[in-house]
Structure 1
Amino acid sequence: MSEKLITLSEFLKLRETLPILDARSESEFIQSHIPGALNLPILNDGEREIVGTLYKQEGNESAVLKGFELVGPRFHQIQKEVLLNYPDKKILLYCWRGGMRSQILSWLLGMVGFEVFRLKGGYKTYRTFTYERVRKPYNFIVLGGKTGTGKTVLLKALEDKGEQVVDLEGLAHHRGSSFGGIGQEKQPSVEQFENLLAERLIQLDQIHPIWIENESRNIGKVTLPDGIFQQILTAPIIKISKTEAERITHIEEEYASLPKEELKSAILRLSNKLGGLRTTEALEDLEMGRHRSWIENMLVYYDKTYGFDLNKPIRQHELSLDLSQIPLSEACQNLLKIKNDINAKSGNQTDTVE
């Protein structure tokens, strides 16, 4: 058997080249896990419940014996599965605390020639790291603006130019409105979202500016960490504006091809706020394929909601930028110039704009 206990920093480096196995149960993995890991439960959900109950009632020895009784018949299947999927015979491994489940899996794999690197402290160590990472201070610049001004498109263009960007809606698999979950993958749990956010943040320089979109506390069912949300509220913000026609066109491009029944459901979720007449008109327009009309109807509500945000206290750096009829490349250059101005006023080193 070849096993090495490794620290989290060693684990994060080795995962660039080695596959990762998570030995916890299915529900534990679904709730949250280290991104990139594959689930290979030593005890499935039902077995884990049985062993846990026995541990509480009779103690550790009875629980251990029952665990081996349950999982023992599958030992050869586990070995065959891992041999088939990982012929290089090198693997990273963890369970909840780096305890019995990962030890058992490590032993099984070592018996068939695997070199195993087992995370000391298990997932709990990783989760402590990500929890703390998303609560650190960052040098954010916030992109704001009404619905349909293309903030996500701008973020992607800035990233393509080498800028540091965090796409919260992309990580949350939700665009942040009643329509935001349509066509998206299932949202991660709040804990897994924090893991994904931390993974993004560790790729970035904490000192230099990071572009981020103005978001409410909740993005669909995901809640932003308090520290990140408070920084979004107080960081320099650039409020983008475009013509209503441009905004409608942008929304139409994103939503018109999505399933009609899901769009209807999204409109109905807003019916109390839209009012009966406006809801009826929007549903009729959607049914008849008059996309610009129902979108224009929705913007009445969303623009009113945006107006509440305008009443919040003024930040130290709050600028408006009209990008109406401005090409994307030119829009990015305008944003980069503003970033440099903000840096200069804050006493930070100014980046060169090419």
Structure 2
Amino acid sequence: KAVILGLELVGSKLAGFVKQAKKIAVDNKLLVHCWRGGMRSASMAWLFDTAGIQTTTLNGGYKSYRRHIKDSFAKNYKLIVLGGMTGSGKTEILKAMAEQGEQFIDLEKLAHHKGSAFGSLGQLEQYSTEQFENNLYEDWKKLDEGRIVWLEDESQAIGSVRLPEELYIRIRKSPVLKVNLPKSERINWLVKDYGSFDKEKLKSAVLRIQKRLGGLRAKEAIQSIEMNDFHKVADITLEYYDKAYNYGLKMREENSVFDIDLNKIMPDENAKKIIAHYPLLSI
């Protein structure tokens, strides 16, 4: 209090900085940085230290931090991509694999989006791409470089955020273990995932891919939503998503895609089968 009182005598602006810093400090600890890590951050760190806040400065500033993040995504981790058509339960399978000891980065959780036109439903508001990368790095830096890292097959854009170019290139060059499931099973999974959402939001999602579905099929899907026939909606939308996924798969390197057939989406059992299968891949 004495420091703040003294600062108010010198300049209320400095006192305001300290008051704000005390509000945002976690356990009275604060990280201070500027763009290059120069005198401004050092001066503010001195000010906050003097006011009793445990303050650390970011070496090299935010610019250096961002460069470090980009470099880390380019490292030669052993990646395996879990692929499969929409509705295959890939995220839940990967979560089950993580519970069984595998390394998994949940890109969709970090992105607050599941990737498709319906992917924002039930999700938090998305961050900027830059903040998404920063958050991704916080998980990435915890990985064991000597072990396999599992990722879900994603487009570079996940909703409004984009995967770092360095990481996306690595993903596209990594082996894919593609799970194959009956379409009926995938439809049931999608209905369970999305059938309870507000109908107007579901209609808006269909309209976002109207051109790709075709006017008549989009209209049929919207009518099916109104009639609570969500299985029909899933069937129609999968016509587009299955074609798009197969096209993307053809763009991958030859002999980099390995298939595994599953009968039902049972994440725990599927995870065990995949863990037993992947040592056979050529990594």
**TM tier, shorter chain?**
0.7 to 0.9
What is the aligned partner in structure 2 of residue 109 from structure 1? 48
Whole-angstrom CA distance in 2 between matches of 1:313 and 1:228:
15
Whole-angstrom CA distance in 2 between matches of 1:87 and 1:166:
26
- C-alpha change, 1:109 and 1:242, in structure 2 (3 Å) is same
Of 162-171 and 72-81, the range deviating more from structure 2: 72-81
Q: Write out aligned runs for 1:115-130 (5 A).
A: 115-130=54-69
Q: What secondary structure, in the 3-state scheme, does the structure 2 residue paired with 1:97 have?
A: coil
8 A contact 1:177–1:220 mirrored in 2: yes
- C-alpha change, 1:240 and 1:104, in structure 2 (3 Å) is same
Letter in 2 for 1:340: P
What is the aligned partner in structure 2 of residue 280 from structure 1? 219
What is the aligned partner in structure 2 of residue 191 from structure 1? 130
Matched, 1:79 2:18: yes
Number of equivalences: 276
Of 108-117 and 152-161, the range deviating more from structure 2: 108-117
Matched, 1:134 2:73: yes
Matched, 1:147 2:117: no
8 A contact 1:140–1:236 mirrored in 2: yes
Unmatched segments (≥5 aa) in structure 2: 1-9
What is the aligned partner in structure 2 of residue 247 from structure 1? 186
Unmatched segments (≥5 aa) in structure 1: 1-70, 347-354
Whole-angstrom CA distance in 2 between matches of 1:287 and 1:88:
51
Calculate the TM-score normalised by the size of structure 2. 0.87
The match for 1:322 among 245, 261, 264 is 261
Moved over 6 A (4+): none
The match for 2:109 among 161, 166, 170 is 170
Q: Deviations 1:299-320 (Å, cap 9, x if unpaired)?
A: 1111121231343355444221
Letter in 2 for 1:114: I
Q: Deviations 1:158-192 (Å, cap 9, x if unpaired)?
A: 11112111222222221111111222222222222
The match for 1:269 among 204, 208, 223 is 208
RMSD in angstroms over aligned alpha carbons? Answer: 2.5
Whole-angstrom CA distance in 2 between matches of 1:306 and 1:337:
25
Q: What secondary structure, in the 3-state scheme, does the structure 1 residue paired with 2:143 have?
A: coil
- Report the Cα offset of residue 137 of structure 1: 2.0
Aligned-pair identity in percent equals 41
What is the aligned partner in structure 2 of residue 220 from structure 1? 159
Whole-angstrom CA distance in 1 between matches of 2:27 and 2:56:
14
Letter in 2 for 1:129: H
- C-alpha change, 1:117 and 1:324, in structure 2 (3 Å) is same
8 A contact 1:98–1:123 mirrored in 2: yes
